[in-house]
Structure 1
Amino acid sequence: MVEKERIPALLILSGPTGSGKSALAEHIARRYDVPIISADSRQIYRYFNIGTAKPSPEVQAQIDYEMIDILEPHERFSAGKFAVRAAHLIEHTHVHKPVVIIAGGTGFYIKALMNGLADIPEITPEINHKWNHSLKIKGFQFIQKELVRMDPNFPIRGDIHNPHRVLRAIKVADQTGRSIFDYTPQPLLKNPHDSGYFQIDHDRKELYDRINHRVDDMMGKGLVEEVRSLLPYQDCPAMRSVGYQELLPYFDNQVGLDEATDKIKQHSRNYAKRQLTWLRNQTSWTKINSNDIGILQDWVESHL
């Protein structure tokens, strides 16, 4: 009798930057010999290591880590491309595993994978140029006001303070005459995967202390030297990451190192705040702290 092929369960672990999600995911991956798919929009880039808190080569040698170092710094990526690749990994590459971990703080990557992708028409070069130019010349507030005029429901359903989302939505509205929310996502995962959603939650002060300490640790590990070595890529998408863009003025002698370091901490805290806003809207997620390893182990063992 042929044994029926198993469908991997999905352990989804997210949280703001500096919350400790990678350490938890790696512990589970080692203990149960299961893979991790990194849902991190910056760890995908080669050479950008310290500032993205990328798992070390030693850790990657121990764990089957996916979606790390898959792009050159000049290449562009998207939630859609992530979702397509991740779905293939889950349902083809790792289909024999009882559990696949999806760990990372890039919420729209996770959402695209789990909720599917909307069949939005490709934006024409003319529309792209029009709104990119408007953003550069007239500023983000102008784009926000125009989007509210063209799509009054966007502030209710979308993040009106997220430049990437707002720019994307106004391009869709201009080209199609429809709201971006009129397009229904189509699932990418074809099988019914049992999924557990866990969010690492910290007191705000504790989280900010962790972030500040993490930045100091990165500086001690050689972040300045890493950014110096990556200056040839300063116009590439990868360099827009927090921890890299703040050091560019330092190399141009515009700010001191202490000021640049403070900016990294500030922008990291701002990024964490945006991540927390996204996570607050995920009502089905179970909140845990970074010491709740037992909760995750129990969940995994129930799926072995």
Structure 2
Amino acid sequence: MSRVLISIVGPTAIGKTKLAISLAEHYRTVIISADSRQFFKEMSIGTAVPSKKELAATKHHFIQHKSISEPYSVGDFEKEAIQLLDTIFNDREVVVMVGGSGLYVDAVTKGLNEFPGVDPQIREQLNLELQVQGLEQLQKKLQNLDQAYYKTVDLNNPHRLIRALEICIGTGKPYSSFLGKPKKERNFTTLTIGLQAEREKIYDNINRRVDIMMSEGFLEEIRSLIAYKDLNALRTVGYKELFNYLEGNWDLETAIAEMKKNTRRFAKRQLTWFKRNEDTIWLDAKSSSIQKLETVAAAAQKLISE
């Protein structure tokens, strides 16, 4: 039996969830989330977790299945997602995956890159620098050591920065030089569908989403999490800006403006990451749901028939 994974990618707030649900209903299948911000039970509004209605429309996996206090790496996700796919493909030809976390998407579709071991003291020193000197110092260090990865990585994710820096320092080579090597074989075929729109449209969507999040009680969600603000899961766009407000560093207007600005920058990095895949079929986000569904279904049918 053919095994086709339809992977829906694109920047934040562009309509990936809606298309994924439409496809899952069409194929009577399930959805795997590859959005690393939506893994955690305590984070809902700020991560744009699918609504109760959307979650009820079709079965979703890897949505709020972990606590922010539990260590959970991209390697853990790869292992669990591949095991789940093996089970699902026993009785389905098609599975839908959706998410804007490029590294997590690639972990499932291609497998993770192999890196040499490095002295663990390097990571300890980098964690100390993060605590004493802050995230900006790590950002500058990565910019000096690996310009290529600096342009694509989520600069607000300290875990990613430290991982890249420990490889750069421990091997004397750029982290990016270890990327793009031959990956693990998969027993399914991936059809990658990207959603795109004009930049101004994407930015308008982001600004509107932030306003909606605030009206839905995002600030209250932040208040309930401030005691955990130093956990890796919470060092992310949206949360860190409102933590600054609650700590008295910014007024609320500034915090919201920074949240919108940093989310727009994040969306730009997402597009840079996803555009590297030359096999992606890009669809206009403005096209109708029926048009998108028909285009994806036709492409999937070719793979199923092969």
Alpha carbons of structure 1 residues 275 and 146: separation in structure 2 relative to 1, 3 Å: closer
1:20-35 map, 5 Å: 20-35=15-30
Within 5 Å, give how 1:104-119 maps onto structure 2: 104-119=99-114
Give me the whole-angstrom Cα distance separating, in 1, the residues matched to 2:206 and 2:172. 42
Q: How many angstroms apart in 1 are the aligned matches of 2:246 and 2:7?
A: 39
Change (3 A) 1:57 1:129: same
Q: CA deviation at 1:259?
A: 1.9
Letter in 1 for 2:36: S
Of 56, 59, 64, 2:54 maps to 59
Comparing 130-139 with 224-233, greater Cα deviation is found at: 130-139
1:208-249 per-position Cα deviation (integer Å, ceiling 9, x unaligned): 011111111111111112212222322222222222111112
Q: Which amino acid in structure 2 is aligned with residue 196 of structure 1?
A: L
**Which residue number in structure 1 is paired with residue 142 of structure 2?**
144
User: Are residues 1:296 and 2:303 paired?
Assistant: no
Do the aligned partners of residues 143 and 159 (structure 1) sit closer, same or farther apart at CA in structure 2, a change above 3 Å counting? Answer: closer
Deviation of 1:170 after TM superposition, in Å, equals 3.3
Query: CA 1:127–1:73 in 2, change beyond 3 Å: closer, same or farther?
Result: same
Tell me the residue number matched to 1:151: none
| Alpha-carbon contact 1:199-1:285 (below 8 Å) kept | yes
Q: Which moved more, 1:96-105 or 1:235-244?
A: 235-244
The CA distance in 2 between the partners of 1:224 and 1:168, in whole Å, is: 31
Alignment of 1:103 with 2:98, yes or no, is yes
- Indicate conservation of the 8 Å contact 2:30/2:95, yes or no: yes
Instruction: Give 1:145 shift.
Output: 6.4
Residue 207 of structure 1: how far off its partner (Å):
0.7
Aligned to 1:3: none
Moved more, 232-241 or 271-280: 232-241
4+ runs of 1 displaced by more than 6 Å?
none
SS at match of 2:6: strand
Distance 2:180 2:210 in 1: 40
Structure 1 residue 97, shift from structure 2 partner? 1.4
Count of residues in Structure 1 that have an aligned counterpart in Structure 2: 291
- Per-residue deviation, 1:263: 1.5
Q: Which residue of 2 is the match for residue 208 of structure 1?
A: 203
The corresponding residue for 1:81 is: 76
Question: In 2 relative to 1, CA 190–249 (structure 1 residues): closer, same or farther, beyond 3 Å?
Answer: closer
Query: Which amino acid in 2 is paired with 1:143?
Result: K
Q: 2:268 aligns with which of 273, 277, 293?
A: 273
**Which letter does structure 1 place at the counterpart of 2:21?**
E
Once the two structures are superposed, residues 139-183 of structure 1 have per-residue CA deviations (whole angstroms, 9 ceiling, x without a partner) of 236523663xxxxxx545x34563555532331243345554358
Structure 2 CA distance, aligned partners of 1:184 and 1:252? 41
Q: CA deviation at 1:110?
A: 1.2
Q: What SS is found at the alignment partner of 1:27?
A: helix
Structure 2 segments unaligned to the other structure (5+ residues): none
CA 160–206 in structure 1, closer or farther in 2 if over 3 Å, else same: closer
Amino acid at match of 1:259: T
What residue ranges of structure 1 are gaps of 5+ in the alignment? 1-5, 148-153
Shift in CA distance, 50/245, structure 1 to aligned 2, threshold 3 Å: same
Asked whether the 8 Å contact 1:87–1:189 carries over to 2, the reply is no
CA-to-partner distance for each residue in 1:247-301, whole Å, 9 max, x for gaps? 1122223333222211111111010011111122222211102232331233345
> Following the alignment from structure 1 to structure 2, what is the Cα–Cα distance between the partners of residues 120 and 184?
12
Contact kept, 8 Å, 2:13 with 2:205, in 1: the verdict is yes
**Mapped contact 1:91–1:189 kept (Cα < 8 A):** no
AA aligned to 1:36 is I
Kept in 2, the 8 Å contact 1:143–1:166? The answer is no
Q: Cα gap change, 1:81/1:256 in structure 2, threshold over 3 Å: closer, same or farther?
A: same
Change (3 A) 1:108 1:233: same
Q: CA separation of 1:255/1:77 partners in 2, compared to 1, >3 Å: closer, same or farther?
A: same
For the residues of structure 2 that align with 1:38 and 1:104, how far apart are their CA atoms? Answer: 6
